[in-house]
Structure 1
Amino acid sequence: MRYGFWMPVFGGWLRNVADEGMEASWDYARRLTIDAERWGYDLTLIAELNLNDIKGVTEPALDAWSTAAALAAVTQRLELMVAVRPNFHQPALFARAAANIDRISGGRLSLNVVSSWWADEARQYGLQFDQHDDRYARTAEWLRVVEGLWTQERFSLDGQFYHLRDAICAPKPARPPVIYAGGESERAKAMIAAQCDAYVMHGDPPEAIAPRIADMAARRAALGRPAMTYGMAAYAIVRDSEAEAKRELARITAVADLPAGYANFDQWLSGTQLERELKLQEYAVSNRGLRPNLVGTPEQLRERIAEYEHHGLDLLLLQMSPQAEEMERFAAQVMRTAPVELRVV
Structure 2
Amino acid sequence: MKYGFWLPIFGGWLRNVKEENMPPTFEYAKKVIQSAEEWGYDTTLIAELYLNDIKGTDKDSLEAWSTAAALAAVTEKIEIMTAVRPIYHNPAVTAKMAANIDHISNGRFTLNIVSGWWVEEAKQYGGDFTEHDERYDRTEEFIEILKGLWTEDTFSYDGKFYQIENTKLSPKPVQRPNPILYAGGESEKGKQIISSLCDAYVIHGHTVEEAKVKITDMKKRREEAGREPLATIGMAAYVICRDTEEEAQEELKRITTVKDLSGYAGFKDFTSKSELEQQIQLQDYSVSNRGIRPNLVGTPEQIAKQILAFEEVGVDLLLLQCSPQLEELERFSKQVMPKVEELRSALTKN
Give the partner amino acid of 1:248: E
On the 8 A contact 1:183/1:201 being kept in 2, the answer is yes
Residue 63 of structure 2 aligns with which residue? 63
Q: Secondary structure at the match of 2:262?
A: coil
Describe the shift of the 1:143–1:328 C-alpha distance in structure 2 as closer, same or farther (beyond 3 A).
same
Residue 291 of structure 2 aligns with which residue? 289
Structure 2, unmatched stretches of 5+, are: 269-279, 340-350
Residue 28 of structure 2 aligns with which residue? 28
- State the distance in 1 between where 2:255 and 2:154 align: 52
What is the CA-CA distance between 1:281 and the residue it aligns to?
Answer: 2.8
What is the CA-CA distance between 1:126 and the residue it aligns to?
Answer: 2.1
Indicate whether 1:143 and 2:143 are aligned.
Answer: yes
Report matched runs for 1:68-147 at 5 Å: 68-147=68-147
Give the partner amino acid of 1:168: K
On the 8 A contact 2:48/2:85 being kept in 1, the answer is yes
Q: Secondary structure at the match of 2:126?
A: coil
Q: Deviations over 1:304-334 (max 9, x none)?
A: 0101111011111110000000000000011
- State the distance in 2 between where 1:310 and 1:142 align: 34
Q: Secondary structure at the match of 1:74?
A: coil
- State the distance in 1 between where 2:182 and 2:42 align: 15
Report matched runs for 1:135-284 at 5 Å: 135-175=135-175, 176-228=178-230, 229-259=232-262, 279-284=281-286
Q: Secondary structure at the match of 2:290?
A: coil
Structure 1, unmatched stretches of 5+, are: 266-277, 338-345
Indicate whether 1:314 and 2:311 are aligned.
Answer: no
Residue 342 of structure 1 aligns with which residue? none
TM-score w.r.t. the length of structure 1 is 0.91
Match of 1:305 among 304, 307, 314: 307
Residue 345 of structure 2 aligns with which residue? none
On the 8 A contact 1:111/1:177 being kept in 2, the answer is yes
On the 8 A contact 2:88/2:126 being kept in 1, the answer is no
On the 8 A contact 1:2/1:316 being kept in 2, the answer is yes
On the 8 A contact 1:194/1:220 being kept in 2, the answer is yes
Describe the shift of the 1:298–1:256 C-alpha distance in structure 2 as closer, same or farther (beyond 3 A).
same
Identity %: 56
What is the CA-CA distance between 1:174 and the residue it aligns to?
Answer: 0.4
- State the distance in 2 between where 1:100 and 1:21 align: 33
Residue 340 of structure 1 aligns with which residue? none
Q: Secondary structure at the match of 1:44?
A: strand
What is the CA-CA distance between 1:111 and the residue it aligns to?
Answer: 0.3
Q: Secondary structure at the match of 2:112?
A: strand
On the 8 A contact 2:53/2:263 being kept in 1, the answer is no
What is the CA-CA distance between 1:261 and the residue it aligns to?
Answer: 6.5
Describe the shift of the 1:325–1:173 C-alpha distance in structure 2 as closer, same or farther (beyond 3 A).
same
On the 8 A contact 1:11/1:20 being kept in 2, the answer is yes
Give the partner amino acid of 2:242: R
- State the distance in 1 between where 2:149 and 2:285 align: 41
Q: Deviations over 1:199-244 (max 9, x none)?
A: 1111110111101101000010112211112111110011111111
On the 8 A contact 2:83/2:111 being kept in 1, the answer is yes
Residue 334 of structure 2 aligns with which residue? 332
What is the CA-CA distance between 1:287 and the residue it aligns to?
Answer: 1.1
- State the distance in 2 between where 1:139 and 1:236 align: 32
What is the CA-CA distance between 1:279 and the residue it aligns to?
Answer: 3.7
- State the distance in 2 between where 1:216 and 1:260 align: 32
